């Protein structure tokens, strides 16, 4: 292969095109069957292409003598949980997480619920290259009926539902006092999240829980939480939670409709875990994207912070190696090490809601306690992804900016793992405008790698 098969979070691309065309999927299925012996568990989100991809992978694995258990629509963390708690040798999730419905992907879990390490990914990529391709029938994937698309093995996922309900931090019935808005992103959480919170007794307002195969993440969910925040205010709810398409991340809103991202939730949970003596190393693991304000707020609590490269797999590896109990990403992936080795949006929503219900936590106070440094992200399309440190014009501009900012700000530049983009992040103390610095770096990338206008977001 000229490029890596695995990206930041599994294998991802446009459904029906390499590496998610029928030939590539067949090879991937056979490679997994060769690498793992036993039963494979397959879950998927609500994208139209999920059913077809599931069928190809299942056929390929079974042709190699592997048993396959397809549970239908299930969240990514739910698949990890059932893989770990069952007798499966590998778990597979067909999902492109927060991407639009045209995209899809494959996430793979070991039998213990952990994502594959780098060595195992490379071994699978080698096997994929070596798999002989049989003559496959010429067929054009057709859209499945809605009933088939949304089917789920309810009896199979009951242990996961029980796990989520039992994770509540407050006494039984405490959530009955709460009114909660759940934005299910028309994705894999559309049944599970409401079921869990109904069992906990919460008063629910559920939105974006009618998937049709094409509306996953569209103007809703964790990537577009503004709709959830508005509904919180309109309905007089106590809080809101917005999941992404596969429900491994969550973004919250307080009763005033003000948003809380992963940085806020890490601070909230770190304080709680430290108070209850469940933060063994007094350290939180996050990524290079975390705001400098989080580090300052944790320091005031006597809690340290470690940064990893972007990706919840790297966060978990650092947690696992260092014995740290809490980690996550600004995007809303939060990992509780004593619960599950993967980010679980519904689990975190249960934890946060139960803490609010018990009176221990106020989301409004958490927002006040985290004073974020202004942070600006510039996404610049690129034609290729060379080592930009070796491009003189970019390297010299980075040095100039770092020299001016010193300890009052920072630059983070990285290529997207799933799109032809370079992401330029500038962060600086209040009173320093990061925009000119970001624009200057973007101009250097356009000159060197030639591309079009960027997408700017704060």
Sheet containing strand 203-207, edge to edge, reads: 203-207, 179-183, 239-243, 250-253, 259-260
Closest by alpha carbon to 422, among 411, 433, 414? Answer: 414
**Adjacent-strand bridge partners of 456:** 378
Tokens of 141: 């994937």
Q: E strand or H helix at 409, and its extent?
A: strand 409-415
Active site residue 155: no
d(CA 172, CA 327): 27
Closest by alpha carbon to 346, among 436, 440, 442, 221? Answer: 221
d(CA 299, CA 295): 6
State the catalytic residue, choosing from 49, 60, 95, 97.
97
Sheet containing strand 39-44, edge to edge, reads: 11-14, 103-110, 90-94, 39-44, 67-73
> CB of 136 within 8 A of CB of 51?
no
CB atoms inside a 10 Å sphere around CB 350: 26
d(CA 167, CA 176): 16
d(CA 251, CA 157): 24
CB atoms inside a 10 Å sphere around CB 205: 18
Which residue numbers are catalytic? 97
């Amino acid at each position: 292969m000229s490029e890596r098969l695995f990206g930041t979070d599994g294998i991802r691309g446009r459904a029906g095109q390499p590496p998610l065309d029928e030939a590539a999927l067949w090879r991937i299925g056979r490679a997994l069957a060769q690498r793992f012996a036993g039963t494979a568990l397959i879950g998927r989100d609500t994208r139209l292409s999920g059913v077809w991809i599931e069928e190809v992978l299942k056929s390929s694995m079974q042709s190699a003598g592997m048993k396959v258990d397809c549970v239908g629509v299930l969240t990514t963390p739910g698949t990890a949980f059932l893989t770990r708690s069952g007798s499966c040798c590998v778990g597979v999730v067909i999902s492109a997480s927060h991407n639009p419905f045209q995209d899809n992907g494959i996430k793979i879990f070991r039998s213990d619920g952990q994502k594959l390490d780098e060595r195992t990914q490379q071994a699978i990529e080698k096997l994929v290259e070596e798999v002989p391709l049989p003559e496959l029938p010429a067929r054009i994937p057709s859209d499945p009926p809605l009933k088939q698309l949304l089917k789920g093995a309810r009896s199979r996922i009951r242990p996961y539902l029980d796990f989520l309900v039992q994770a509540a931090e407050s006494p039984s019935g405490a959530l009955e006092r709460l009114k909660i808005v759940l934005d299910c992103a028309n994705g894999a959480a559309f049944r599970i999240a409401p079921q869990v919170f109904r069992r906990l007794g919460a008063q629910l307002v559920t939105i974006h829980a009618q998937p049709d195969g094409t509306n996953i993440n569209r103007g809703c969910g964790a990537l577009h939480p503004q709709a959830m925040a508005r509904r919180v205010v309109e309905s007089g709810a106590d809080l809101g939670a917005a999941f992404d398409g596969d429900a491994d991340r969550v973004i919250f809103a307080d009763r005033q409709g003000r948003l809380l991202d992963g940085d806020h939730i890490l601070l909230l949970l770190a304080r709680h875990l430290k108070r209850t003596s469940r933060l063994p190393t007094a350290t939180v693991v996050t990524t290079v994207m975390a705001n400098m304000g989080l580090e300052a707020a944790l320091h005031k609590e006597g809690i340290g912070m470690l940064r990893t490269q972007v990706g919840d797999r790297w966060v978990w590896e650092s947690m696992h190696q260092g014995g740290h109990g809490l980690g996550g990403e600004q995007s809303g992936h939060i990992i509780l090490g004593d619960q599950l080795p993967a980010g679980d949006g519904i689990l975190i929503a249960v934890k946060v809601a139960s803490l609010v219900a018990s009176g221990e936590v106020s989301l409004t106070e958490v927002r006040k306690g985290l004073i974020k440094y202004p942070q600006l992200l510039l996404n610049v399309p690129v034609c290729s992804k060379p080592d930009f440190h070796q491009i003189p014009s970019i390297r010299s501009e980075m040095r100039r900016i770092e020299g001016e900012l010193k300890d009052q700000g920072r630059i983070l530049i990285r290529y997207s793992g799933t799109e032809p983009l370079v992401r330029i992040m500038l962060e600086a103390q209040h009173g320093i405008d990061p925009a000119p610095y970001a624009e200057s770096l973007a101009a250097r990338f356009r000159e060197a790698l030639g591309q079009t206008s960027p997408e700017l977001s704060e």
